[in-house]
Amino acid sequence: MLEVLRLAITPSTVELEAIGKRYAVHYTHCRGRGLELTQAGPSILEVKGNVSNQRGCVSLLRQWLQMQGRFHLAPWLEKISHETGLAFRGIQVRGQKTRWGSCSSKGTISLNYKLLFLPPRLVSYLIIHELCHTVHLNHSSNYWSFLASFEPGCSALDKEMKQAGRLVPRWVNWGR
């Protein structure tokens, strides 16, 4: 019964569409109360320890997602910043509950690691969206015109972003 419950909450695969990678997740029960996540191969994640601790397993996977976000989203932001000429001062990668990204008045851009589950075109759009906030820190008509100068399809992409939460697997938000 416990195994069935674990499989219902913790994933057997993690597919990161933004970067075109899919990982099999293997769970190995070991004595003790601790948990450890390792990348056992190019496409295999292994969780070892008290794998009946579902919250712990999901927490480890979220920490891994955050590291993947830093590794993949930061260079993506830097590339688009260079291409557009829109500068930023810093980057944070977090797991916000309700936002895909934000831009502070000091030019720090926060990106949500859940972007990794979205198609690349939506991730690129969101990055451009946030970079445009380094010039217009609002959603005024001037902002939308400015954004459209970099991304002519911004209106349709913005509508897609409003529905993109359905692309994030349930386990990512479980227990929060």
Q: Model confidence over 113-151: pLDDT tens digits?
A: 999 999 999 999 999 999 999 999 999 999 999 999 999
Least Cα distance to 65 among 40, 94, 32, 36 occurs for 94
Whose tokens are 């380094």? That residue is 134
Phi, psi of 115 (to 5 degrees): -55, -25
What percent of the chain clears pLDDT 90, i.e. is strictly above it?
Answer: 90
Give domain limits for the chain: 2-169
In this structure, is the dihedral angle defined by the CA atoms of residues 49, 54, 59 and 62, taken in order, positive or negative?
A: positive
Phi, psi of 169 (to 5 degrees): -60, 150
| Tokens (6 digits) for 28 | 């190995």
Average pLDDT over residues 150-176: 95
pLDDT tier at 7 (50, 70, 90 boundaries)? very low
Bridge partner list, 110: 92, 102
Superfamily (CATH) of domain 2-169: Metalloproteases ("zincins"), catalytic domain (3.30.2010.10)
Mean pLDDT of the chain: 94
What is the full DSSP assignment across 17-40? GGGTEEEEEEEEE-SSS-EEEEEE
